[in-house]
Structures are given as structure tokens and as C-alpha cells.
């Protein structure tokens, strides 16, 4: 089938001149609009403007350019339906065989334009309409929405080897582009106007296929929901599914702290956390918590990695190291390990995410991210013994860590160093026992955090027997009085936060 007419209307003009020259050489007539037509004409390409085809000028400050019967009939007419073709002939309408369109950059301008009135002008109307019409009639109309497709389409046209499969592939891409465009407009306008809706739209873009998922028999890929990746891998072999899960666990936890802090994650749980005056000291202390579990772990750091810290990091086999940046000397040391994955994380961008999305068979769960630590008004000392200033600092440190430990969670700390962790147990007393058991450093004078209330006094007794002197927990149990009484008997300070931190 000989292609006669191509309609070109693009905001992103990359490669369009070369593509249209190629079409012209194949004898295809070029029809275009506004700025695109001007560019093509100035490049020596013969162009008929849409207004010449329709007999109507662009109006309403270019809001209406292509919305015309002659355009859409030319696109939608089915070449194998005689009635459609007779209608075109009767009305003097030329079929349009190729449509090349990309849209006003609403997403890009949403980051630059503050006025809603101005931003609305970047909502494309004619473009998506032409694209949808062309994609609907893909058997007869080639629709191209991506400049990256110009070259292979042109080569296919020259060799007359564009197949129906190619046409369908281009149509699917066109529908994906219109869907993404509308989804972003809906989401952005809802956000800026604070309009609640019972619908949510997520556009996920594949970044890469992964070797496998949690286990070798599971296929997996990594998708992002934003045009900007939060992380950039700068060295080492490719990240695995489990690496990425653990990496974000480390990033979220270490981003909670203002002081230089190091986090070591194993299977999403922290096995080492410490804050200190320097990053190297923080990492050294974090590794002391559980050196055995640190082997093969993921390390998160909230400061630029320096030479001294890099030397310490290089002493242990690690899977991934994440940080906001690595200095030149640190990179020299760490890149000597060929497979060690080094990742820069944009912590500022990480904190912008306000929702979490998880899948279950047949649906999704969406919740606010757990950003709240406690409300100062609800922070309440409930025992006769009050925590010292140093104990309170340690309690709040343990409380932040506890938020990122799988429930039921018990965390023991001394100063701003993690001492022991009890994670993912079915009973809270077992988590307390495991936290004590895992502690390699002296427990006397330590503090503990519990992600939810103690249902019985037994967990308090386990911690008191180990040398814990202060506990922070949400409170709210029907047996709070019994638990507080146990703390008073054991001469332990106890603080209620009024906030629970279950992590499933």
C-alpha cells in the first residue's frame, strides 16, 4: 500500500527534520502545524499547513489546530471498508497514512510553572486525540510518538517491510503514552488542589530486568514510578532483587538520623546501627553490634564516604554500600573490589515519597509512609524513675531503629549504638529473648525499644534481667498497669510514645 500523506505535529523536535526529509524522498506529502511546519519549511521541506487542508485557521491562541473533520476522517477511515472510502471521496478528504505526534510537556512544565492557569495551557488536547485515533486505526495508519522510532520506521518504509506486527507495536506504545500523560495530569492536579479521589494511577517504567527475584526460579524486573531514579549505581556487578529491597531498607533507616550514622542491613533487618562524631567511628561501632551478620550485608551511610571509612569498609565482605557520595580516595579503595556495588542515593528525593505500595493477589495496599516517630505531647514518662538525659537520647535512637525492624520487634541500644535485635517473632517475649541473646556487647545500663505495647510483663522482666535500665514503647495495652508496675519493681524507667511501629 502506497503511503501518501503524513501529519506531523511535535513538541520534541529531535530528529524530525531528517525523518520528514526521508518521507519526502519516498513521495509522502507532509502536513504540519505551527512551529513544526515552520521548522520543516526552513529546512527546505515542502509542507502543507493544517489550516490549508481544513480551510480554517488556528484559533483560541492555538488551542484549536487539528480538531477538524478533515483530519479525523482522514485518520479513522478504514481502507478496506468501501463506505468509509466513498465518504472520503465524496467529501474531498485525503486519507492520512502516517501520524507523528508528541505532546506538550506537561510533566516537565509542572516542575517549572507555579501558576495553575499557565500550567493548564500545557495540557495537550489535539495531540492525544490524533494519537488515539491513529492507534485505533493502526492497520491503516502508522502512528509514531517516540523519536527513537524514526530511524527503524524509515528504514522499514524504504524496504517496504513494515509489518502489521510493527504497526500494532507502535499503536501499543501510542496508547501507553496517552495513558501515562493523562495519569500524570490527574495525579498532579489532584495533588496541587488537594482533591481526594477513590482512584489512583501509577505509571511504572522498567529500569532493568533482574537476574531473578528473591529466588533463582522467580523472574523479576525493577520499575520506577518517577522519571528520576533515587539511586545511581557507580561500581560493581548488577544489583539483585534482594539487594534493592535491602538497599532501600538501609537508605530509609539511615536517613532518619542527623548525626553521622552507619547502618548494616541483613534480610531487611538492621544488624548494626550507630551514630557518632565521625562516619568512620559510626561504621566501626555499627559493625561491632554483630560482625558475623555484617558479613555479606548492605551498608547505608548518611555522609560522604571518606578514606578512613572506606578502609574500614574494605575489611569485610559486603554486597552493597550506599551513601550520598564517595570521595576520590574512598572510590580508589572501594573500586578495587570488582563486584562490590557502590550506590549513590539521593536522600532528599527519598524523603519526598509519602506513600507505600504493596501488592497482594488481585489488588494493592497503599499506605502513608511511616514518618512519625512520636508526638512531643504524647511522649510520657509513666514510671517512678525518670530516664536521664543520656538515657532519653539513647531511647529515641533505639525508637528510630525499631521502626525498621520486622514485627514483633525489640531493639536494645547503649548510647547511640545498637546492641541487640529481636525481629519477626510471633510473641514479643521471644523477640526480647532473642535481642538479649544476640547482644555481643555488655548489656548493663542499656535501653530498649518495643515497636508495640507489651501485652504482659514477661518481656519487661527478660530485659530487666539482662541489665536494661529504660524502655520506650507505645503503650495502650489493657495490661499497661501491670507492665508499668513491673518496670517500677525492677527500677526501670519507661516512656510511652503513643505511636506504634509495626513493620510487616
- What DSSP letter does each residue of 168-217 carry, written as one string? HHHHHHHHHHHHHHHHHHHHHHHHHHT---S------EEEEEES-SSSTT
- State how far the Cα of 483 lies from the Cα of 488, in Å rounded to an integer: 9
3-state secondary structure of 412: strand
- State how far the Cα of 47 lies from the Cα of 32, in Å rounded to an integer: 7
Angle formed at CA 346 by CA 345 and CA 349, multiple of 5 degrees: 140
- Looking at residue 60, its pLDDT comes to 85
- State how far the Cα of 127 lies from the Cα of 65, in Å rounded to an integer: 10
- State how far the Cα of 401 lies from the Cα of 395, in Å rounded to an integer: 10
pLDDT of 345 > 80? The answer is yes
Contacting residues for 13 by C-beta, under 8 A, at least 6 apart:
36, 39
pLDDT of 376 > 80? The answer is no
- Looking at residue 479, its pLDDT comes to 96
CATH match for 236-348 among 3.60.15.10, 3.40.140.20, 3.40.50.620, 3.30.300.30: 3.40.140.20
Contacting residues for 241 by C-beta, under 8 A, at least 6 apart:
210, 212, 213, 214, 218, 220, 222
* pTM, entire model: 0.84
Catalytic member of 41, 136, 173, 304: 136
- Looking at residue 227, its pLDDT comes to 59
User: Average of pLDDT values for 398-415?
Assistant: 97
Burial of 447 (0-12, 13-18, 19+ CB in 10 A): buried
Classify domain 380-496 at the CATH topology level: Cytidine Deaminase; domain 2 (3.40.140)
- Looking at residue 354, its pLDDT comes to 83
Burial of 273 (0-12, 13-18, 19+ CB in 10 A): buried
Catalytic member of 267, 329, 337, 485: 267
* Max CA distance (Å), the chain: 97
CA atoms within 13 A on the CB side of 199: 6
> pLDDT-based confidence at 462, cuts 50/70/90?
very high
pLDDT of 1 > 80? The answer is no
Spell out the alpha helix ranges (H) of 233-278: 241-254
User: Average of pLDDT values for 257-273?
Assistant: 97
- State how far the Cα of 162 lies from the Cα of 314, in Å rounded to an integer: 54
pLDDT of 228 > 70? The answer is no
pLDDT of 152 > 70? The answer is yes
What are 116-141's pLDDT values in tens digits?
A: 989 999 998 999 999 999 999 999 99
- How far apart, in Å, are the Cα atoms of 97 and each of 2, 18, 121, 138, 187? 9, 19, 29, 10, 34
Backbone angles phi, psi at 431, to 5 degrees: -60, -40
Backbone angles phi, psi at 389, to 5 degrees: -60, -40
- Dump the DSSP string for 306-330: -HHHHHHHTTS-EEEEEES-B-HHH
- Looking at residue 238, its pLDDT comes to 93
User: Average of pLDDT values for 217-233?
Assistant: 86
Omega of the bond leading into 361 within 30 degrees of 0 (cis):
no
Q: pLDDT higher for 157 or 376?
A: 157
- Looking at residue 53, its pLDDT comes to 83
User: Average of pLDDT values for 92-100?
Assistant: 95
Is there a catalytic annotation at residue 501?
Answer: no
Which three cell numbers mark 228? 528520576
Average pLDDT value for the chain: 93
CA nearest to 191, candidates 102, 119, 103: 119
Is there a catalytic annotation at residue 267?
Answer: yes
Computed on alpha carbons and rounded to an integer, the radius of gyration of the chain in Å comes to 31
Please say whether the structural domain 5-193 has been given the CATH code 3.40.50.1380: yes
5-193 matches 380-496 in fold: no
Check if the beta carbon of residue 467 is closer than 8 Å to that of residue 443. yes
- State how far the Cα of 273 lies from the Cα of 249, in Å rounded to an integer: 12
Share of the chain above pLDDT 70, in %: 99
pLDDT of 275 > 70? The answer is yes
- How far apart, in Å, are the Cα atoms of 496 and each of 100, 471, 476, 478? 63, 9, 9, 14
- Looking at residue 214, its pLDDT comes to 93
Check if the beta carbon of residue 416 is closer than 8 Å to that of residue 265. no
What are 282-329's pLDDT values in tens digits?
A: 999 999 999 999 999 999 999 999 999 999 999 999 999 999 999 999
Sign of CA dihedral 413, 418, 420, 424: positive
- State how far the Cα of 139 lies from the Cα of 475, in Å rounded to an integer: 65
Task: Kindly list the domain boundaries of the chain, sorted by start residue.
Answer: 5-193, 236-348, 380-496
CB burial string 360-370: b at 16+ within 10 A, e below: eeeeeeeeeee
Amino acid at each position: 500500500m502506497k503511503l501518501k500523506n503524513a501529519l506531523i505535529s511535535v513538541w520534541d523536535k529531535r530528529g524530525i527534520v531528517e525523518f520528514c526529509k526521508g518521507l519526502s524522498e519516498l513521495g509522502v506529502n507532509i502536513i504540519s502545524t505551527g512551529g513544526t511546519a515552520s521548522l520543516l519549511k526552513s529546512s527546505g521541506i515542502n509542507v502543507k499547513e493544517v489550516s490549508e487542508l481544513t480551510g480554517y485557521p488556528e484559533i483560541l491562541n492555538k488551542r484549536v489546530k487539528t480538531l477538524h473533520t478533515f483530519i479525523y476522517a482522514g485518520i479513522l477511515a478504514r481502507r478496506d471498508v468501501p463506505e468509509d472510502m466513498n465518504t472520503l471521496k465524496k467529501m474531498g478528504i485525503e486519507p492520512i497514512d502516517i501520524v507523528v505526534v508528541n505532546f506538550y510537556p506537561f510533566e516537565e512544565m509542572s516542575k517549572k510553572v507555579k501558576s495553575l492557569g499557565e500550567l493548564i495551557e500545557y495540557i495537550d488536547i489535539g495531540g492525544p486525540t490524533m494519537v488515539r485515533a491513529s492507534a485505533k486505526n493502526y492497520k491503516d495508519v502508522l502512528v509514531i510518538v517516540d523519536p527513537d522510532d524514526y530511524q527503524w520506521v524509515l528504514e522499514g518504509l524504504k524496504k517496504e517491510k513494515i509489518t502489521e506486527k510493527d504497526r500494532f507495536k507502535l499503536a501499543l506504545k501510542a496508547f501507553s503514552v496517552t495513558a501515562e500523560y493523562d495519569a500524570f495530569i490527574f495525579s498532579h492536579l489532584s495533588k496541587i488542589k488537594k482533591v481526594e479521589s477513590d482512584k489512583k494511577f501509577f505509571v511504572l517504567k522498567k529500569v532493568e530486568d533482574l537476574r531473578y527475584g528473591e529466588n533463582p526460579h522467580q523472574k523479576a524486573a525493577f520499575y520506577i514510578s518517577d522519571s528520576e531514579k533515587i539511586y545511581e549505581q557507580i561500581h560493581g556487578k548488577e544489583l539483585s532483587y534482594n539487594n534493592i529491597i535491602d538497599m532501600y531498607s538501609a537508605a530509609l533507616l539511615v536517613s532518619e538520623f542527623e548525626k553521622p550514622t552507619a547502618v548494616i542491613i541483613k534480610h531487611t533487618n538492621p544488624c548494626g546501627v550507630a551514630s557518632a562524631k565521625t562516619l568512620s567511628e559510626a561504621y566501626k561501632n555499627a559493625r561491632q553490634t554483630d560482625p558475623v551478620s555484617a558479613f555479606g550485608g548492605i551498608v547505608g551511610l548518611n555522609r560522604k564516604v571518606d578514606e578512613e571509612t572506606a578502609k574500614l569498609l574494605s575489611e569485610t565482605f559486603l554486597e552493597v554500600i550506599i551513601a550520598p557520595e564517595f570521595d576520590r580516595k574512598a572510590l580508589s579503595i572501594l573500586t578495587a573490589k570488582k563486584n562490590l556495588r557502590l550506590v549513590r542515593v539521593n536522600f532528599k528525593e527519598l524523603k519526598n515519597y509519602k506513600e507505600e505500595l504493596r501488592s497482594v493477589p488481585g489488588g494493592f495496599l497503599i499506605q502513608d509512609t511511616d514518618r512519625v516517630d512520636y508526638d512531643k505531647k504524647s511522649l510520657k514518662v509513666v514510671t517512678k524513675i525518670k530516664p536521664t538525659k543520656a538515657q532519653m537520647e539513647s531511647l529515641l535512637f533505639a525508637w528510630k531503629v525499631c521502626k525498621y525492624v520486622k514485627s514483633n520487634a525489640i531493639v536494645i541500644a547503649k548510647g547511640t549504638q545498637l546492641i541487640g535485635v529481636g525481629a519477626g517473632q510471633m510473641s514479643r517475649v521471644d523477640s526480647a529473648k532473642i535481642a538479649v541473646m544476640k547482644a555481643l556487647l555488655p548489656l548493663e545500663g542499656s535501653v530498649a525499644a518495643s515497636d508495640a505495647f507489651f501485652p504482659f510483663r514477661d518481656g519487661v522482666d527478660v530485659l530487666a534481667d539482662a541489665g536494661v535500665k529504660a524502655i520506650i514503647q507505645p503503650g495502650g495495652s489493657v495490661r499497661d498497669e501491670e507492665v508499668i508496675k513491673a518496670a517500677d519493681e525492677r527500677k526501670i524507667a519507661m516512656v510511652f510514645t503513643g505511636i506504634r511501629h509495626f513493620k510487616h
